Structure 1
């Protein structure tokens, strides 16, 4: 019931590099192992907390690994180099702009625009009021629109 929602939350908050599918599965394993200690009404919160902590632990580990090796991506493609350069530049600018948003704005914005969740659903997930969610989404949209050229969302 919560697997897809938890996966998407981790993906929006940390990105694909944190392996949200694996972290979701690990959270459910932890829930299974601690099912006697977790009250049913608190199961969702337990899953989110365990998954979030697992991701944070991996990020710390990844920082240590990066100190000792450098990554060299091997991207070979047959697309027009100019298009690839423009695409890469726009994507970097988009990522930087998302980075300028507060965590609350970014999570609410992505849950609404990418996942298609309604404001009430987001408010329930994040534990805030609907008005707070609306403010976060619209303020995030304003920042993105201001920073990025030709930024439009359906």
Structure 2
């Protein structure tokens, strides 16, 4: 059966989609939201929706549809969090983690780097992590995020500038 004629409803085809794209989509969301459990939940829900609507989905468009479903779900969750935070009476501070005195220098640097990465804009952080952690090419990142390769290059450049400013001369990219 030709790739274009594959049915998403066939279990082997659905399994192939899941096994091929789950980790990539999950990481993409994780880099956007910073919460692995949230990213996993959204991706799993997206694949459930894909399965329920499998008869209406063209196999060749399934990957982009999964990314779209996941991005929309994450945007909905962000919008919901904004409303919740607006009406929450006590401010939250999730950064109460103090490092023990005996942490090695490399661990301290890793923590500083993670902190600096968290200071990047969400768009810069997403592109930076997709490139440096998932080893995606700029072209792949552009396809995943639905932006041009030039936009990916600009975001990476801004990310590097910001990280250099925050980290000083401790790191070279």
TM-score relative to the length of structure 1: 0.72
Which residues of 2 match residues 48-59 of structure 1 at below 5 A?
A: 48-59=67-78
Bigger Rg over Cα = 2
**Which sits farther off after the overlay, 5-14 or 104-113?**
104-113
Pair 35,18 (structure 1): closer, same or farther in 2 beyond 3 Å? same
Partners of 1:144 and 1:47 lie apart in 2 by 31
The reply to whether residue 19 of structure 1 matches residue 38 of structure 2 is yes
- Segments of 5+ residues of structure 1 without an aligned counterpart are none
Partners of 1:16 and 1:134 lie apart in 2 by 25
In the alignment, which residue of structure 2 is the partner of 1:67? 88
Whether the 8 Å CA contact 2:138–2:149 is kept in 1: the answer is: yes
Pair 146,22 (structure 1): closer, same or farther in 2 beyond 3 Å? same
Partners of 1:151 and 1:33 lie apart in 2 by 50
Pair 27,68 (structure 1): closer, same or farther in 2 beyond 3 Å? farther
Deviation of 1:90 after TM superposition, in Å, equals: 4.1
2:43 partner SS: helix
Deviation of 1:71 after TM superposition, in Å, equals: 5.2
Pair 62,126 (structure 1): closer, same or farther in 2 beyond 3 Å? closer
The reply to whether residue 80 of structure 1 matches residue 106 of structure 2 is no
Number of aligned residue pairs: give it.
147
TM-score relative to the length of structure 2: 0.65
The reply to whether residue 97 of structure 1 matches residue 119 of structure 2 is yes
Deviation of 1:72 after TM superposition, in Å, equals: 7.3
Deviation of 1:29 after TM superposition, in Å, equals: 0.4
Pair 35,151 (structure 1): closer, same or farther in 2 beyond 3 Å? farther
- Which ranges of 4 or more aligned residues in structure 1 deviate by more than 6 Å? 75-78
Match of 1:134 among 149, 153, 157: 153
Pair 51,12 (structure 1): closer, same or farther in 2 beyond 3 Å? same
